[in-house]
């Protein structure tokens, strides 16, 4: 019940900002699922769903092209490789759900650098309704029954921050269909503590739109360009803590937990498209081995995004 109070308070804080904006805004949905890459690949990060809303705010800084306020409601679900057994000895990853609301700010500079800062509040554990979501979906889709959620990560309050920075490499290059970026991000909070760094390359099927007007990092609001490009982004991640694997920072009451593999190689590659007011994306995501168990491996999933630019 405490979670509901926090969540309602969070929404009340956001409501005046969200509904006051009637132009230069974007509304969309992002759905992640391992089935988007393979019908046989149903494990580890098994499903994610997020609703996004963002809108422009004024800026008087001559070095900044635009700023936006970003809002997200999301749920992520994690499972072991085998979901048809309730024997915890066979589980190579804990069952866990993560339900959250997010408020963030994005700054897009005229030199094509990007800075983002986000704050999340929510829950890992029973209060995330991960069990109910997965079991309902499997029943409606005719998939096999899921067993083992009784061993899920126990309730842990999420108070989470995330920071992201991207900087263009070779800014004086005259190429109009390829560009390069260095990027880093960090997570700090009660759910995740870690950092990643890597590179991103965009390859355009037409002339690339500057990042401060591109849908690459959510900057298509307030611009009218069309775009279609492929990108690839390898990175190295150092993870110090993950509540969906280790349980709460403040107790050890979760029945199934594991030690982390701290260093991982991650990568993603995908296509992003924009025409008129419609944004579309498909991304293939790879995550390296995250924890120490006998059967676990790196895994991959697909992410599909659809959004619409509002007047």
Q: Are 236 and 265 in contact (CB under 8 A)?
A: yes
Class for the domain spanning 2-17+25-310:
mainly beta
Extract the tokens encoding 62.
């001559």
Residue 15 pLDDT > 90, yes or no?
no
Residue 13 pLDDT > 90, yes or no?
no
What confidence category does residue 138 fall into, taking pLDDT thresholds of 50, 70 and 90?
confident
Mean pLDDT of the chain: 90
Residue with tokens 């298509």: 220
d(CA 176, CA 173): 8
What pLDDT is attached to residue 20?
A: 38
By three-state DSSP, how is residue 6 classified?
helix
What pLDDT is attached to residue 139?
A: 82
pLDDT digits (tens, 9 = 90+) for 220-250: 999 989 999 999 999 999 999 999 999 999 9
Phi/psi of residue 290, nearest 5 degrees? -100, -20
Give the CA distances from residue 148 to residues 57, 87, 91, 93, 310, in Å, rounded to whole numbers and listed in that order: 46, 7, 9, 11, 43
Worst-scoring range by mean pLDDT, 21-30, 69-78, 146-155? Answer: 21-30
Extract the tokens encoding 58.
């004024």
d(CA 119, CA 161): 5
Q: Are 238 and 195 in contact (CB under 8 A)?
A: yes
Closest to 102 measured CA to CA, from 184, 42, 13: 13
pLDDT digits (tens, 9 = 90+) for 244-279: 999 999 999 999 999 999 999 999 999 999 999 999
What pLDDT is attached to residue 131?
A: 92
Q: E strands of the chain, at which residues?
A: 25-33, 44-57, 64-79, 96-109, 114-124, 156-169, 178-189, 192-204, 227-242, 263-275, 278-287, 299-310
What pLDDT is attached to residue 16?
A: 44
C-alpha torsion sign, points 251, 252, 256, 257: positive
What confidence category does residue 114 fall into, taking pLDDT thresholds of 50, 70 and 90?
very high
Provide, rounded to the nearest whole percent, the portion of the chain with pLDDT above 70: 91
């Amino acid at each position: 019940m405490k979670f509901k109070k926090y969540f309602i308070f969070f929404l009340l804080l956001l409501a005046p900002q969200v509904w006051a904006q009637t132009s230069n805004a974007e509304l969309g949905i992002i759905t992640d699922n391992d089935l988007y890459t393979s019908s046989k690949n149903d494990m580890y990060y098994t499903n994610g769903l997020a609703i996004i809303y963002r809108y422009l705010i004024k800026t008087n800084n001559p070095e900044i092209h635009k700023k936006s306020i970003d809002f997200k409601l999301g749920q992520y679900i994690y499972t072991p490789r085998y979901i048809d057994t309730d024997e915890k000895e066979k589980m190579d990853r804990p069952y866990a759900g993560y339900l959250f609301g997010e408020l963030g700010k994005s700054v897009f500079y005229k030199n094509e650098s990007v800075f983002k800062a986000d704050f999340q509040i929510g829950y890992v554990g029973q209060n995330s309704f991960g069990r109910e979501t997965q079991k309902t979906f499997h029943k409606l889709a005719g998939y096999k029954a899921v067993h083992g959620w009784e061993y899920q990560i126990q309730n842990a309050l999420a108070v989470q921050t995330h920071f992201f920075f991207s900087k263009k490499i070779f800014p004086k290059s005259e190429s109009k269909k390829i560009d390069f970026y260095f990027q880093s991000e960090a997570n700090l909070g009660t759910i995740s503590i870690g950092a990643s760094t890597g590179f991103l390359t965009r390859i355009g099927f037409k002339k690339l739109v500057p990042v401060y007007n591109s849908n690459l990092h959510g900057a298509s609001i307030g611009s009218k360009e069309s775009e279609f490009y492929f990108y690839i982004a390898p990175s190295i991640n150092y993870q110090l803590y993950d509540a969906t694997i280790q349980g709460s920072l403040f107790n050890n009451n979760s029945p199934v937990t594991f030690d982390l593999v701290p260093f991982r190689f991650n990568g993603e590659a995908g296509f992003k498209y924009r025409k008129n007011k419609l944004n579309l994306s498909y991304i293939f995501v790879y995550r390296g081995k995250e924890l120490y168990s006998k059967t676990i491996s790196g895994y991959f999933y697909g992410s599909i995004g659809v959004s619409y630019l509002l007047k």
